[in-house]
Amino acid sequence: MDHNVYEQLADVLDTRGVGFPRTTSGVEFKILKMLFTAKEADLYMKLSLEPEPLQVIAQKLGQDADALAAALNTMAEKGLIIQVPHDGMVLYMAIPFAIGILEGNAIRVKEDPVFANLVTQYLDEGLGAVAAKPPLALRPVPVNRAITVSWPIATHDDLREIVRTKQFIAVTDCLCRTRKVHAEDKSCGKPTEVCITFDLHAHMAISRAQGRQITAQEAIDILDKAEAAGLVPMAFNSINPSGVCNCCGDCCGVLQYVAKNSKPAKIVLSNYFAVVDKAQCVGCEVCLDRCQMTAIAMNADNIAQVNLDRCIGCGLCITSCDAGALSLALKPETERQVPVEAAP
Ligand code: SF4
Ligand code: SF4
Ligand code: SF4
């Protein structure tokens, strides 16, 4: 009977966020059983993805409010749901496995090698592949310095503007880089404290002691540091993103799967592409190393050339070209896309 509730939970999780695919090894059930008791699994399935007051949930479920509050608070402490402060009371809402429960358990990835190894196995066997299927949970947002401000930049394409509009900001360690160190004993050497979350996600990170509150200026400084280190800024894919990851091809499951696609530009939502001014290119090849999508190659004349099927418009190459030969161009209006209202 217990396993049955986890089967049902897996089905529900599969309809939320990036999904929760089944694997032949069944590793996903080992993860669920480490995270949820059978009672918590049952309760999770009855919760909405919209924040609801305790009394409403208690009435809906026909349960005693005090006992229910205790169960919900425990689940929030375990990073399985979110508590939302609202008008002097606390609302409760379910969150997807990714982006959500997995990130809420980043600290466990650091402290529990068994859990870290299971997450690695699950990323390899199923979760990584679905996370890289369109619509992606993340989308590249070019660093502002890469954009020539000769045309208007939509707010959702302006990382600094996104940060400035947020009321509550937190920074946490990058889950993927942390997992790599703890599960595989490997480090890409890139900065780790670079995952920036906003509002609800920021509250969750801080209540789980996984992050610290920062100001908008500190967030912008972190974005600059990440850019200098060659990390790709990837916002959660919605018009009002609840977070920005700074990813690298060594550690990030999503970026790795995007890079494996023969045409990464076709599966990410990006409104930009890189262009080379042939007259300025001195053939130094710095941009080749910088590009995580291997979108740049040298032509027979030793001039950099961008493969538009592979360029995701992240802008990293632009800020590394001392010769000023690279710039970002805006795609034609017919090819531009606006992110969805809410994250998938
Ligand atoms: S998605 Fe990227 S930045 Fe976010 S946790 Fe993974 S590697 Fe780190
Ligand atoms: S970094 Fe600039 S100058 Fe060097 S190869 Fe690339 S485009 Fe050319
Ligand atoms: S060429 Fe590579 S680094 Fe430059 S914008 Fe495109 S994907 Fe980013």
C-beta of 325 in contact with ligand 2 (< 6 A): yes
Distance from Cα 267 to the centre of ligand 3, integer Å: 15
The C-alpha atoms of residue 180 and residue 307 are separated, in whole angstroms, by: 30
- Is 136 a residue whose pLDDT tops 80? no
**For the chain, which domains are there?**
2-123 (1.10.10.10), 136-258 (no CATH), 261-335 (3.30.70.20)
Q: Hey, which of 22-26, 159-163, 235-239, 250-254 has the most confident mean pLDDT? A: 22-26
pLDDT of residue 132: 64
Distance from Cα 274 to the centre of ligand 2, integer Å: 12
34-43, 67-76, 130-139: range with lowest mean pLDDT: 130-139
The C-alpha atoms of residue 127 and residue 254 are separated, in whole angstroms, by: 9
pLDDT of residue 143: 63
Q: Which ligand is nearest to the CA of 195?
A: 1
- Is 211 a residue whose pLDDT tops 50? yes
DSSP 136: P
What is the rounded average pLDDT for all residues in the chain? 85
- Could you give the ipTM of this predicted complex? 0.88
Distance from Cα 306 to the centre of ligand 3, integer Å: 8
Which single residue is written with the structure tokens 């592949």?
129
Which single residue is written with the structure tokens 């190659």?
297
Describe the crossing of helices 65-77 and 54-61 by its angle, rounded to 10 degrees. 120
Q: Which ligand is nearest to the CA of 311?
A: 3
Q: What is the pLDDT of residues 21-42, one digit of tens each?
A: 999 999 999 999 999 999 999 9
pLDDT of residue 281: 98
Structure tokens at 201: 């996600």
The mean pLDDT value for 287-304 works out to 95
The C-alpha atoms of residue 98 and residue 257 are separated, in whole angstroms, by: 16
C-beta of 287 in contact with ligand 2 (< 6 A): yes
Q: What is the pLDDT of residues 310-321, one digit of tens each?
A: 999 888 898 889
Pocket test for ligand 1, best of 246, 268, 292 (most atoms within 8 A of CB): 246
